[in-house]
Amino acid sequence: MKALVYGGPGKKSLESRPKPEIRAPGDAIVKIVKTTICGTDLHILKGDVATCAPGRILGHEGVGVIDSVGAGVTAFKPGDRVLISCISSCGKCEYCRKGLFSHCTTGGWILGNEIDGTQAEYVRTPHADTSLYRIPAGADEEALVMLSDILPTGFECGVLNGKVAPGSSVAIVGAGPIGLAALLTAQFYSPAEIIMIDLDDKRLEVARRFGATHTVNSADGKAAERVKALTDGVGVDTAIEAVGIPATFLICEDIVAPGGVIANVGVHGVKVDLHLDRLWSQNITITTRLVDTVTTPMLLKTVRSKKLDPAKLITHRFALDQILEAYDTFGHAADTHALKVIISA
């Protein structure tokens, strides 16, 4: 089969690999129909993710058709159409029983990281019964690819942890696919204001189309002042960090209102200053989370009922043969205006 293989920092290639086989009774082999590229794949290619070894097939998102199942799989059979979660979970360990699927002792984020991933014609998915989701008949499968990772991430790490509430004020720093997913799902709760902050005017324009009430370009270093001005000097109830660098976490520290929440989503590679000297008295909460994908069944229902339209995040389409071109397009988002690229296998 064809597969996109990580070759070490800065290296990737489209290679021919053997089709994966069942190794454990809970495994399923899924024939990929659609997959995509995540910002995290770009982090891997930069060499930021030590757990991902050279030779690994990348990708942790996708939809497909069950090709074969291990003897222990009871929920799926060959021919079933499924959504693949970026998080594998056994459903039985102490963390899974608490809903912390991302910390599953034999799963978590392993696909396209510690085991071969979805940017291929086939993928082996461990713990299939509890890590795959049946796709409703007639569903838009491209739209559902957005539910493997970015929608649950924006929603769980940003909106739920950030306690977005009716009439509240929200700021989202970073208008990439994750920040935009937080923007779309924050609107389940009817906040009064959603202020989107980014350096890229094109992405801010998209954010306005997706429901942001205000946008702030932070290139001049005055984002916090402008958010304060937009909120009568108070700041916001929820500040969602969706970039993963010190500068953007600092914006969140500067704009969170007394009693508010900073919900960190970004993956941080370096340490960040925490200004407890200013914040100790502000009754704030800071949350962190690796996406658990516990809300995937709920999000599937919102897509089915058209309360949520994740297809709006798709900007480009490629065949698996063109995946290097797809990486190029996704990796130069400022020029290509790419958000999510769909790859058909």
Ligand X SMILES: NC(=O)c1ccc[n+]([C@@H]2O[C@H](COP(=O)([O-])OP(=O)(O)OC[C@H]3O[C@@H](n4cnc5c(N)ncnc54)[C@H](O)[C@@H]3O)[C@@H](O)[C@H]2O)c1
| Binding footprint of ligand X on the chain (CB under 6 A) | 39-40, 43, 149, 153, 157, 173-179, 197-200, 203, 218, 242-245, 247-248, 265-267, 289-291
Best CA proximity match to 169, nearest among 235, 223, 218: 235
Q: Which residue has the tokens 């005055």?
A: 222
Question: Which of ligand X, Zn ion, none does residue 90 bind to, with CB < 5 to 8 Å depending on kind?
Answer: Zn ion
Q: Which is nearer to ligand X, 103 or 304 (CB)?
A: 103
Q: Which is nearer to ligand X, 123 or 180 (CB)?
A: 180
Q: What is the dihedral of CA 244, 248, 250, 252, to 10 degrees?
A: -100
- Confirm or reject binding of residue 38 to Zn ion (CB under 5 A): yes
Q: Which is nearer to Zn ion, 62 or 260 (CB)?
A: 62
Q: What is the dihedral of CA 27, 33, 37, 43, to 10 degrees?
A: 20
Question: Which of Zn ion, ligand X, none does residue 96 bind to, with CB < 5 to 8 Å depending on kind?
Answer: Zn ion
Q: Per CB under 5 A, which region of 129-137, 148-156, 191-199, 219-227 contacts Zn ion? A: 148-156
- Confirm or reject binding of residue 243 to Zn ion (CB under 5 A): no
Distance CA 345, CA 337 (A): 23
Strands 132-134 and 169-173: unpaired
Retrieve residue 17's tokens: 């690999």
Q: Which residue is nearest to ligand X (CB)?
A: 176
Distance CA 131, CA 109 (A): 11
- Confirm or reject binding of residue 96 to Zn ion (CB under 5 A): yes
Q: Which is nearer to ligand X, 75 or 245 (CB)?
A: 245
- What's at 242, amino acid-wise? A
Distance CA 281, CA 278 (A): 7
Question: Which of ligand X, Zn ion, none does residue 244 bind to, with CB < 5 to 8 Å depending on kind?
Answer: ligand X
Measured in residues, the chain has a length of 345
Distance CA 46, CA 40 (A): 10
Question: Which of ligand X, Zn ion, none does residue 104 bind to, with CB < 5 to 8 Å depending on kind?
Answer: Zn ion
Q: Which is nearer to ligand X, 20 or 112 (CB)?
A: 112
The footprint of Zn ion (CB under 5 A) covers: 38, 40, 90, 93, 96, 104, 149
